[in-house]
Structure 1
Amino acid sequence: MADVQTNPSIPVDSNSGFCHKTKTFQSMRPLVPLPPLSQPLSIADFTLSELLLRSSAFKSTTTVLVESSTGVHVSYSLFLSQIHSLTTSLRSSTSLSKGQVAFILTPPSLHVPVLYFALLALGVTISPSNPLGSDSEISYQVRLCNPVIAFATSSTSHKLPSLPLGTILLDSPEFLSMINGSRNGTDRFQQVQVSQSDSAAILYSSGTTGRVKGVLLTHRNLIALLAKFRQLLPETDQNQTEMLQPHPVCLFTLPLFHIFGFIMLVRAVARGETLVLMSRFDLEGMLSAVEKYRVTYIPISPSVVVALAKSDLVNKYDLSSLQLLGSSGAPLGKEVAERFAAKFPNVTIVQGYGLTESGAGGAEMMTPEESRRHGSVGRLSENMEAKIVDPVTGEALPPGHKGELWLRGPTVMNGYVGDDKATAETLDSERWLKTGDLCYFDSEGFLYIVDRLKELIKYKAYQVPPAELEHLLVSHPEIADAAVIPYPDEEAGQIPMAFVVRNPGSNIREAQVIGFIAKQVAPYKKVRRVSFINSIPKSPAGKILRRELLTRALSLGSSRL
Structure 2
Amino acid sequence: MSFRSPYPDVDIPTVSLTDFLFGGLSANDLDRTAVVDGVSGARTTYGELISQIDGIAGALAARGIGIGSVVGLLSPNTPRFVSSFHGILRSGATATTINALYTAADIAKQLTGSGACALFTVSALLPQAVEGARSAGLAADRVFVLDSADGYTSFDDLLAEHNPVPEVTFDPDTHLAVLPYSSGTTGHPKGVMLSHRNLVANVCQLDLLLGVSSADRVLAVLPLFHIYGMTVLLNSALRNRATLVTLPKFELTHFLTAISEQRCTYVFIAPPVAIALAKHPVVDEYDLSSVRTIMSGAAPLDRQLAVAVEQRLGCQVKQGFGMSEMSPVSHVIPFDRTDIPLDSVGPTLPNIECKLVDPTTGTEVEYPVGEGLSDPGELWCKGPNIMLGYLDNTAATADTLDTEGFLHTGDIATVDAAGNVFIVDRLKELIKYKGYQVPPAELEAVLLSHPQISDAAVIGVPDDQGEEVPKAFVVRQPSGDLDESDVIEYVAARVSPHKKVRQVEFIDIVPKSAAGKILRKELRSLG
TM-score (structure 1 length as normaliser): 0.73
Is the CA contact (8 Å cut-off) linking 1:222 and 1:359 kept in structure 2?
yes
Q: 1:74 to 1:431 in 2, by over 3 A?
A: same
The corresponding residue for 1:147 is 116
Which residue type is aligned with residue 324 of structure 2?
Answer: T
Which of 56, 60, 68 is equivalent to 2:38? 68
The corresponding residue for 2:518 is none
Q: CA RMSD in A?
A: 3.4
Which of 34, 53, 57 is equivalent to 1:83? 53
Q: 1:62 to 1:112 in 2, by over 3 A?
A: same
Which of 34, 50, 53 is equivalent to 2:12? 34
For 2:384 and 2:507, the matched residues in 1 are separated by: 45
How far off is 1:398 after superposition? Answer: 1.9
Which of 123, 130, 138 is equivalent to 2:107? 138
For 1:305 and 1:275, the matched residues in 2 are separated by: 20
How far off is 1:416 after superposition? Answer: 1.1
The corresponding residue for 1:286 is 255
Aligned pairs, number: 449
Which residue type is aligned with residue 111 of structure 1?
Answer: R
Query: What is the DSSP-based 3-state SS (H/G/I as helix, E as strand, rest coil) of the residue aligned with 1:454?
Result: coil
Which residue type is aligned with residue 55 of structure 2?
Answer: S
How far off is 1:486 after superposition? Answer: 8.3
For 1:430 and 1:342, the matched residues in 2 are separated by: 44
How far off is 1:555 after superposition? Answer: 8.3
For 2:390 and 2:338, the matched residues in 1 are separated by: 34
Deviations 1:315-370 (A, max 9, x none): 110111111111111111111112222222x3111211110011113111114324
Q: 1:556 to 1:257 in 2, by over 3 A?
A: farther
Is the CA contact (8 Å cut-off) linking 1:365 and 1:371 kept in structure 2?
no
Query: What is the DSSP-based 3-state SS (H/G/I as helix, E as strand, rest coil) of the residue aligned with 2:295?
Result: strand
For 1:181 and 1:104, the matched residues in 2 are separated by: 20
The corresponding residue for 1:483 is 468
Summarize the alignment of residues 489-504 of structure 1 with structure 2, pairs less than 5 Å apart.
Answer: none
Which residue type is aligned with residue 483 of structure 1?
Answer: E
Deviations 1:264-292 (A, max 9, x none): 20111111111111112111110011111
Give the percent of matched residue pairs that are identical in Structure 1 and Structure 2.
Answer: 31
Is the CA contact (8 Å cut-off) linking 2:471 and 2:502 kept in structure 1?
no
How far off is 1:371 after superposition? Answer: 6.6
The corresponding residue for 2:203 is 226
Is the CA contact (8 Å cut-off) linking 1:249 and 1:294 kept in structure 2?
yes
How far off is 1:194 after superposition? Answer: 2.2
Summarize the alignment of residues 154-553 of structure 1 with structure 2, pairs less than 5 Å apart.
Answer: 154=123, 155-156=125-126, 157-158=129-130, 159-161=132-134, 162-163=137-138, 166-172=142-148, 174-179=154-159, 189-196=165-172, 197-205=174-182, 209-228=186-205, 232=208, 240=211, 247-263=215-231, 264-344=233-313, 346-370=314-338, 372-399=340-367, 400-455=374-429, 480-483=465-468, 548-549=501-502, 552-553=504-505
For 1:456 and 1:177, the matched residues in 2 are separated by: 42
Is the CA contact (8 Å cut-off) linking 2:73 and 2:96 kept in structure 1?
yes
Q: Which runs of 5+ in 1 are unaligned?
A: 1-22, 458-465, 474-478, 491-538
For 2:69 and 2:334, the matched residues in 1 are separated by: 37
For 2:40 and 2:316, the matched residues in 1 are separated by: 29
The corresponding residue for 1:120 is 89
Which residue type is aligned with residue 145 of structure 2?
Answer: L
How far off is 1:178 after superposition? Answer: 2.2
For 1:32 and 1:166, the matched residues in 2 are separated by: 41
More displaced 10-residue stretch of structure 1: 154-163 or 79-88: 154-163
For 1:120 and 1:67, the matched residues in 2 are separated by: 22
The corresponding residue for 1:25 is 3
How far off is 1:169 after superposition? Answer: 2.1
Q: Which runs of 5+ in 2 are unaligned?
A: 368-373, 432-458, 476-494, 511-525
TM-score (structure 2 length as normaliser): 0.78
